[in-house]
Amino acid sequence: MPTNVYDPPALESGTLRVIPLGGLGEIGRNMTAFEYDGKLLIVDCGVLFPEENQPGVDLILPDFEPIKDRLDDIVGVVLTHGHEDHIGAVPYLLKRKGDLPLLGSGLTLALVEAKLKEHRIKPYTMTVAEGQREQLGPFDLEFIAVNHSIPDALAVAIRTPAGLVLATGDFKMDQLPLDGRLTDLRAFARLGEEGVDLFMVDSTNADVPGFTPLERSIGPVLDQVIGKAPRRVIVASFSSHIHRVQQVLDAAAAHGRRLAFLGRSMVRNMTIAEDLGYLHVPDGVLIDYKKAKELPDDQIVYMSTGSQGEPMAVLSRMANLDHAIEPGEGDTVILASSLIPGNENAVYRVIDGLTKLGATVVHKGNAKVHVSGHAAAGELLYCYNILTPRNVLPIHGEYRHLVANAKLAQESGVPAERTILGENGTVVDLKDGVARVTGQLDIGFVYVDGSTVGEITDADLKDRRILGEEGFISVIVVVDAATGKIVTGPEIHARGFAEADAVFDSVKPKIAAALAEAAESGVRDTHALSQVVRRTIGRWVNQRLRRRPMIVPLVIEA
């Protein structure tokens, strides 16, 4: 939750307002609102995946609160690329207003449309490409090619009378990309000559020195591991990492193996990528996973989801022997992805589970099977020197990443007072080449829990954690409505306790005595009596059993 919350002043004429609604101080739910002359432009609308301390939560959305009453003012939603942390919340935004125009590259929009189809939403879309310019209300947009771990990623330059903003989306500067599509540094240089008033730049790897390794450096390692594998090979990666899947396909073909996709999102995304020409499948390599089981073990590669240890994803289910494919002695499992912060424990549990089953697990810690899709410090410095921006707002990263990026900006010559360390809800106003913080909105988490959106609160999650960690006690007492004396009980039931229910026999007289004392004082309200029961047993359990369980007292009048 943001600190020092205060409302910004009314937006002055000729001023561009920028409000990050997600993606600052976290890896996920990227979304930024731009306002000029009464109109809004949205860039990205992604999700954040829950951590272990958020039990039962499926997804976390950006907080739409600041724009919920201004949906008619939105002229468009620009999507920089097709990763979930940039497009995953689009269905939830369009459920509020279904005709918002979506702008993005061909692959990005294809992935969004497939997602929206599951929500029964037919969007209004506009396909854009690098070099293209579009005018949406007061916003003049120019799209620029950037290299990332998914094809067709775009940066967007936003021109208004208040100044020029360059938002990179996620990017790196791979000089030998698999698809030949470089980050367009010539366009960056041209924008630098024009004058970039605000540079909003990916911070994920700002604390990593040097340059991000080439994606193609992964190919030989995958080829070697797959070539030496004695039995089945299972490769887990993000379901949108088309470049990584391409390298696995090529390695499988080189060693005479067939490949089967596992996981609904993997099958869906790779079908889209192949249909659009972004994935090139060698003849005769793909096979349905049901038929793949008929092949000899040394002739198959499975490409699955679950590289982040997600409980319901394919790889986790395999590790728990809850999948049709059960890894065993001699199998090789490759985790070809990075660890998203917060997922470490879940991933290592999966690695341990697979290792116990006899599989050899190859991961980033013991082999070069992943490179990042984000620019490291050396690449960011190149951008700062090419662009020489007047103001910088680091985005997309946890707080340490934002700080590291701000330091790089300052080392390259951006004045400290022009380098803004913001958080979700920070209001930044740009006018006359100067960006300054003018407000801080109260931005919270919006939890998706099954079919429930935004109803689950932090208090509910605290209750769930208590239930999972400390146990549950219910106490039922029937009292006489006239006298307040106990008629039946107290009856105590506990769950999540190693001790037998008999352990609570010694607290029953204490509860009875506390209720008798309350009755003598004239207390008859059942809610007040319930609180007496809660305090009495809570104090006893804390002192005797060193636990703080959830306690649900029920006092009934007879």
Q: Which residues are annotated as a binding site for substrate?
A: 239-241, 370-374
Q: Cα(58)–Cα(74) distance, rounded to whole angstroms?
A: 27
Annotated binding site: 56, 58, 81, 83, 85-86, 148, 170, 239-241, 370-374, 396, 449
Of 63, 152, 184, 202, catalytic: 202
H/E stretch holding 402 reads: helix 399-411
H/E stretch holding 264 reads: helix 264-275
Helix (H, G, I), strand (E, B) or coil at 437: strand
Cα distances (angstroms) measured from residue 101 to each of 136, 426, 513, 516? 10, 25, 67, 67
Annotated binding site for Ca(2+): 56, 58, 449
Helix (H, G, I), strand (E, B) or coil at 412: coil
Catalytic site includes residue 37: no
Token representation of residue 387: 């662009």
Annotated binding site for Zn(2+): 81, 83, 85-86, 148, 170, 396
471 φψ region: left (φ > 0), alpha (ψ -120 to 50), beta (else): left
Q: What angle do CA 1, 375, 21 make, to 5 degrees?
A: 25
Q: Report whether 419 contacts 407 (CB < 8 A).
A: no
Q: How many CB atoms lie within 10 A of CB 97?
A: 11
Cα torsion 44, 68, 132, 115: sign: positive
Of 44, 63, 243, 374, catalytic: 374
Cα distances (angstroms) measured from residue 481 to each of 127, 517, 526, 558? 71, 15, 9, 6
Residue carrying the six token digits 């468009």: 76
Catalytic site includes residue 202: yes
**Catalytic positions, please?**
202, 374
